[in-house]
Structure 1
Amino acid sequence: MSRSAGLDRRGFLALAPAIGVAGLLTGCSRTEAGTGAPKEDKDLLAKLRGQGFVRVGFAGEAPYGFQDGDELAGEAPTLHREVFSALGVPELRPTLTEFGALIPGLLAGRFDVVSAGMSITPERCGKVIFSEPEFISPTALMVRKGNPKGLSDLVSCAREGATVGVLTAAVEASYAKAAGVPEGSVKTLAKQQDGLDALLAGRIDAFALTGISLRWLARTNSGAAVEVGTPFVPEIDGVKQWSAGGAVFRPGARSLRDAFDRELAKITGDPGRYVDLIGRYGFTAREVPPRSLRTADLCAARGPA
């Protein structure tokens, strides 16, 4: 769960100049009088039920949300399809976009929800609203076979002078900085496969991402001379970073988000059903978020009590 500095598991801010401030505000232009706060669209779920579909944005990042032939697959679309079906909206209508364009696209009204396993971070919570966590996935390192530098976490990367690869605008960049990895030793990469390739080419010593993502990457590159280490929970200013991901909604879609949460709780509260739904993508009962882990706490940079 992998995922990102700025706004998503990667970022809103980088695209702001290209889209323009006015364009970004278009999707939330209706406001409560005198407050400037987005007006809640309490009729959105009824609208979605009437049309029979919900527009979802995804970024082509396995195993969270990706195209498998003609099918929208992955953790988030599978869970979201189950949730929206229970809400009377049987179809997910997908839009593929770059990860960094998901938040701008959502705010501009290109889709109604982001289905990409996006990490819940305080920065993002300032722009959008999240569901309760769909999963947790601690960070891990992919290293060359044999782990020549003996790397176990980002603190060890800083200690050993290792070069760390992260996805563009991903949360792992902030984790590396907090662990003491110099900015010049953090290399940004566009795609997961780029990380593995850079590792094999010796351009980086470790590739930091969620354990789920790295296990999937290793699985799809069977035979590559890499290994994935034991997952760990990074800290920023003494606060554990749980790498929890969720669905993302516009600030004015609170009623839809709340209805979504009620159905999601039925799935995350039943580990057997959870694994039956998304076990094919590498998710296990270990990825079920504990009930004590709440989005409100994650948005406030607090972990579970």
Structure 2
Amino acid sequence: MQPQFLQSPGFHQRRGQLGRHDWRAGPVVGPRGRLGDSRGRGLTAERTGASRAVRGSPHFRPNREETMKDQTTRRTLLATSLGLGLAAASLGGALAQGLMEKATGEGLDVAFYNFQPYAYMDDTGNLTGTDVEILRTVLERMGGSIADAGATEWGALIPGVKTGRFDVVAAGMFVTPKRCAEVMFSEPTFGIQNALLLVEGNPHGLSNYESVAANPELKLGAVSGAAQVDYAKLAGIAESNIVQLPDNATGVAALQAGRIHAYAVSAPGVRQVLAALPDAGLEGGEPFIDVAGVPHVSHGAFAFRKSDADFVAAFNAELVAFVGTPEHIAIMEKHGMTVDELPVRSTADLCEG
């Protein structure tokens, strides 16, 4: 049986049976294990506009009745446009002001990317992982809860939280300046080193991104849109030699099939793969920090809408008090992380680059 964390994020529980969603068809947001049913909530916007008919020659002059009709039409369009703008502003305000009420009432809708150790379905169909347990604990301290959670493709996480499809991303998402421009991150819950997953015996002698870049015939795999793609580019690996893959199951399969020569993932990710697939003919390289001569310790945090700043401030107050406590460390160790992977930088610092 394939380990849970190696399943595509398109796998999900449906009334106790495992179903599979084609990753090419779009994100999966529910059904959500034992936490609830799917409630895809996308915000839509209507467009209004007016077309002007050609009325003959350039010397055409409308009569008084036509002029009044045009003015009425313009006023109607202006009022409609203003109304839509006010409605959008009102909705945005409601999202921001109501998140605390929602958290302490019906609970928050959570998106996760199915990958250990951060968020994944265990053998009994329950959602677990470091991010899930930390989020649940912090929300409980705030008097809140998780109402609904669903596996979502990596590329749909940020767009989904921005549009209000869900309230928070719990996916071990690394804090980067590019992502900070789109969402508001909580303070980090971990800081981890980089590592490469390799074929057993490491026939190409690979140790980091630069070692892959040194041989133009070698290809590196990474999850599409993940920080590892940016690290690979920083290290000088040609884009044509970076194979972006939809999920970790595909990455492991590509490595075993020889389509790629190394798979870029975090140090905890490598440990999880090797523990789950001890006889797969794979090995992990030594963890490393430097990329292109600059230290890169990837820090993960929860992602929220920027309009939810007040809620995030309250959330951070509880989160910062929790991170580093024996209870937090116990959650990390339970899912294969160590005290060496506690955060060492703040979100403000990480967003600056």
Q: TM-score scaled by structure 2?
A: 0.71
Deviations 1:31-56 (A, max 9, x none): 89xxxx978824421332133x2111
State the match for 1:63 in structure 2: 117
1:289 paired to 2:348: no
How much has 1:245 moved relative to structure 2? 0.6
Between stretches 126-135 and 190-199, larger displacement belongs to: 190-199
Q: Distance in 1 between matches of 2:237 and 2:135?
A: 36
State the match for 1:54 in structure 2: 108
Report the count of equivalent residues: 273
SS at match of 2:214: helix
Between stretches 142-151 and 89-98, larger displacement belongs to: 89-98
State the match for 1:204 in structure 2: 260
How much has 1:81 moved relative to structure 2? 0.5
Distance 1:234 1:29, change over 3 A: farther
1:241 paired to 2:296: yes
How much has 1:239 moved relative to structure 2? 4.5
From 125, 132, 146, give the equivalent of 1:91: 146
1:171 paired to 2:227: yes
How much has 1:260 moved relative to structure 2? 1.4
Does the 8 Å CA contact 1:81/1:92 hold for their aligned counterparts? no
Q: Distance in 1 between matches of 2:90 and 2:144?
A: 27
How much has 1:210 moved relative to structure 2? 0.8
Equivalent residues in 2 for 1:64-143, closer than 5 Å: 64-68=118-122, 69-143=124-198
Q: Which amino acid aligns with 1:172?
A: Q
Does the 8 Å CA contact 2:220/2:263 hold for their aligned counterparts? yes
Does the 8 Å CA contact 1:143/1:228 hold for their aligned counterparts? yes
Distance 1:259 1:217, change over 3 A: same
Identity across aligned pairs (percent)? 35
From 79, 83, 89, give the equivalent of 1:30: 89
Distance 1:214 1:88, change over 3 A: same
Q: Which amino acid aligns with 2:154?
A: F
Q: Distance in 2 between matches of 1:123 and 1:108?
A: 18
SS at match of 1:64: coil
Q: Which amino acid aligns with 1:47?
A: K
How much has 1:160 moved relative to structure 2? 3.0
Distance 1:47 1:170, change over 3 A: closer
Q: Distance in 2 between matches of 1:97 and 1:221?
A: 24
Q: Which amino acid aligns with 1:176?
A: A
Q: Distance in 2 between matches of 1:213 and 1:22?
A: 39
Which sections of structure 2, spanning at least 5 residues, go unmatched?
Answer: 1-25, 28-41, 47-84
State the match for 1:152 in structure 2: 207
State the match for 1:299 in structure 2: 351
Pick 1 or 2: higher relative contact order, CA cutoff 8 A, min separation 6.
1
Q: Distance in 2 between matches of 1:177 and 1:165?
A: 12
Deviations 1:98-137 (A, max 9, x none): 1111111111212111111111011110010000111111
